[in-house]
Structure 1
Amino acid sequence: MKIADDIHNYYENLVSQHFTKLKIDEKYDDDFIADLTCVVLNQLPTRYIRHEVDMAFYLPASERFEMESNVREAVDKALQFMKLHQAQ
């Protein structure tokens, strides 16, 4: 087993989905997005999984909603932070 190949943080997927929804890739370059991703993920707890299907079957809807809300808030804060510090 290779940890890097078999295990990942479920929040990475949620952040990626939210970026797609906001069309982040159309608004910012790759370097900005990489930094933004780090700032966002550092605000969120980790939720390690092996298989996406595990989350689909075992995650209660209320917890999924809370996780998505946490992602939205973290992205908003990170965008404000990045824009403020971009020119510096």
Structure 2
Amino acid sequence: MKLHDDIHNFYEHLITERVTALGLDKTYNADYLADICCLALNQVPPRYIRFDVDMAFYLSQTERQQMEMNVEQAVEKAVNFLEKKKLQELIS
């Protein structure tokens, strides 16, 4: 068994979905997107699963909505943090 192949954090999927929905993948390069994802993932609790379908069956609608709201806030904070940092570097 290889853990990195068999188990993943469900929030990774939600965050990449949010990044795509916001069109950030068309605005920023791969390194910047990786930074956004890492910063956002560090703000949400991990939800490790083996199969995405498991979440569809065992997650209530309320829990799913809360997770999506957590992702929205986390991605927004990550983008704001990086933009502020980039602005500070330009000023310095």
Q: TM-score interval w.r.t. the shorter chain? A: over 0.9
**2:73 is aligned with 1:52:** no
Q: CA RMSD in A?
A: 0.8
Structure 1 gap ranges (5+): none
In 1: Cα distance, 2:38 partner to 2:86 partner: 15
Point out 4+ residue stretches in structure 1 off by more than 2 angstroms: none
Q: Provide the residue aligned with 2:41 in structure 1.
A: 41
Is structure 2 residue 39 aligned with structure 1 residue 8? no
Partner of 1:24: 24
Corresponding residue for 1:76?
Answer: 76
Q: Which of these two proteins has the greater Rg computed from alpha carbons? A: 2
TM-score (norm 1): 0.96
Number of aligned residues: 88
Per-residue deviation, residues 12-35 of structure 1 (Å, max 9, x unmatched) = 000011111101111111111011
Deviation of 1:86 after TM superposition, in Å, equals 2.1
Q: Unaligned 5+ residue runs, structure 2?
A: none
Give the share of equivalent positions with the same residue, in percent: 50
